[in-house]
Structure 1
Amino acid sequence: MAKIRIAIQKSGRLNEDSLKILKECGISINNGKDQLKATARNFPLEVFYLRNSDIPQYLQDGVVDIAIIGENLLYEKGGNIRIVEKLGFSKCRVSLAVPKSVKYSSVKDFQGKQVATSYPNTVKKYFDSQGVEAELHVINGSVEIAPNIGLADAICDIVSSGSTLFKNNLKEVEVLLTSEAVLAVSPKITDERAAILDRLVFRLQSVLQARQNRYVLMNVPNAKLDEVITVLPGMRSPTVLPLAEEGWSSVHTVINKDKFWEVIDELKLAGAEGILVCPIEKMVL
């Protein structure tokens, strides 16, 4: 039986989060320390642990069928690689930054300047779209130090919290693109392996839906039921069960975690009591 081949970053945070989401999909991977290849025990899947920067080429060549990778790297090197699912972790942005002492007004300020970056294609596309010509210095790693040692006037790099820029006396001035981890697919994937991919995507979507929602239970006086149900943004309609105490019901529903607090406030005002919130392990729509 064919196995689908997935590339994952060899080490680092993206590696950890990738393995975590596969585990939440019920996939057990037999990986020992320093292994470059591993096989799942209970799903037709092989894992290749690769350098992050090499993954787009492996996808292009069909050496692997799919990969968990940052959007920013696909934009830089990905060509015709298709994204099949956004995974919601490893969020960052690719940004231009200049020394804090520099007065900045617009992207036109980069005209004729020297910019150090690990993302030359991304920067060139952006500058071309803005009609700006700049000299690019390609650096792999420690880009932030370039202005401090006189190598460049500015940098373009990935930014998460911005603390690294702050420590190097830099300020973020332009966001070129936002990024998160995605599941990407090789243009050379076979039909047989594409069918396995469909099964994997189904599991991933169930996990991602669960991460985005919370299961909520509450006690409501029957006289307030209609008012409470009007507030609820549930999947379809909530489950309403009678309590042992006459005149009361238990209401069960699912609420998006981003809307949770505002909805809870409204529920309390509408008469809900004893509100219990639970995480959801899987959610199949």
Structure 2
Amino acid sequence: MSKLRIAVQKSGRLNEDSMRLLKDIGIYIDNGKDQLKASAKGFPVEVFYLRNGDIPQYLKDGVVDVAIIGENVLIEKGNDIKVAEKLGFSTCRVCIAVPKSSNYNSIKDLEGKRIATSYPNTVQMYLDKSGVNANLHIINGSVEIAPNIGLADAIVDIVSSGSTLFKNNLKEVEVILKSEAVLAVSPILSEGKQAILDKIQFRIQSVLKGRQSKYILLNAPNHKLEKIIDVLPGMKSPTVVPLAEEGWSSVHSVISKNEFWDVIEELKSNGAQGILVCPIEKMVL
């Protein structure tokens, strides 16, 4: 059987998050230091460790079959490549930043100005949509220093925490796009490899659903059971088991981690006791 070739970033945070996801879906990679390619144990997959910016072209050419890549890179260099799955990690945003001393009111203030960036296609699309003409300076590397050395009036770059902008006396003024890691697919994919990808996607979806949810167990007085069940959406309906102590039941359910604290507070106000919350490794619906 031919192997599915998966590209991941060769180093950095995205690499770590990608390898953790592969491990969570049961794909174990035996890779040594500085290895550019490695095979999975017991699964028809090869992992290629590549420069992030090179991956879109490798997908287009069919050198790799799928990739875990930042959505921002795909938009810049391969916006015609299909995204099979959004993965929910390695989140960031592509932003316009200007010196803190600048009197910035709107994107129109960049008319005729110089913008330094590593994302010229993304920036040009945004400027065209906004009806603004500006001069782009393409910089591969640290663009934050460009305003300080007089090379540009503004920059466009990836922002996670904003600390790098702060250190360089810059302020964020526009968000061009929000990005996360995605599973991207080559347009040149055989039927056999699509079958392998389908299995991988099923596993990824199970892991992502688990990460987004919490398993909750609690004790409830029977006279408050109906109200407590109304608070818990669950997968279909909560599991209710009578306790040895008369008049009490144990309730088991699944809740979204985004609603966690609101749900917990409502449960307590309705008489729930002994609330236990557990992480979910995988969730298959």
TM-score by length of 2: 0.99
Could you tell me which amino acid in structure 2 is paired with residue 178 of structure 1? K
CA deviation after TM superposition for structure 1 residue 195, in Å: 0.8
- 4+ residue stretches of structure 1 with deviation over 4 A? none
Aligned residues, how many?
285
C-alpha distance in structure 1 between counterparts of 2:259 and 2:39, whole Å = 39
Kept after mapping to 2: 8 A contact 1:94/1:177: yes
One-letter amino acid of the counterpart of residue 174, structure 1: E
Q: Deviations over 1:179-200 (max 9, x none)?
A: 0000000000111101100000
**Distance in 2 between residues matched to 1:186 and 1:93, nearest whole Å:** 24
So what's the TM-score if we normalise by structure 1? Answer: 0.99
Tell me if structure 2 keeps the 8 A contact 1:80–1:187.
no
Which residue is 1:260 aligned to?
A: 260
Report deviation, 1:25. 0.4
1:77 — aligned with what? 77
Report what 2:164 is aligned to.
Answer: 164
Q: CA deviation at 1:226?
A: 0.5
Cα offset for 1:80? 1.6
Please tell me whether residue 21 in structure 1 is matched to residue 21 in structure 2. yes
Unaligned runs of 5+ in 1: none
**CA deviation string 1:20-53 (max 9, x = no partner):** 0000001111111110000000211000000011
Matches of 2:96 and 2:126, distance apart in 1: 10
CA distance in structure 2 between the aligned counterparts of 1:20 and 1:142, rounded to whole angstroms = 28
SS at match of 1:147: coil
Secondary structure of 1:30's partner? Answer: coil
Question: Hey, what does 2:118 align to over in structure 1?
Answer: 118
Q: Given the alignment of the two structures, is residue 235 of structure 1 paired with residue 235 of structure 2, yes or no?
A: yes
- Shift in Å at residue 79 of structure 1? 3.5
Equivalent-residue separation in structure 2 for 1:217 and 1:226 (angstroms): 16
| Equivalence map 1:105-184=2 (5 Å) | 105-184=105-184
Indicate the RMSD between aligned Cα atoms, in angstroms: 0.6
SS at match of 2:252: strand
Give the whole-Å Cα distance in 2 for the aligned partners of 1:129 and 1:73.
Answer: 20
User: % of aligned pairs identical?
Assistant: 72
1:217 aligns with: 217
CA distance in 1, matches of 2:42, 2:155: 45
Q: Partner residue of 2:90? A: 90
Correspondences of 1:58-77 after superposition (within 5 Å): 58-77=58-77
Q: Which runs of 5+ in 2 are unaligned?
A: none
Q: 1:247 matched to which residue of 2?
A: 247
Map of 1:208 onto structure 2: 208
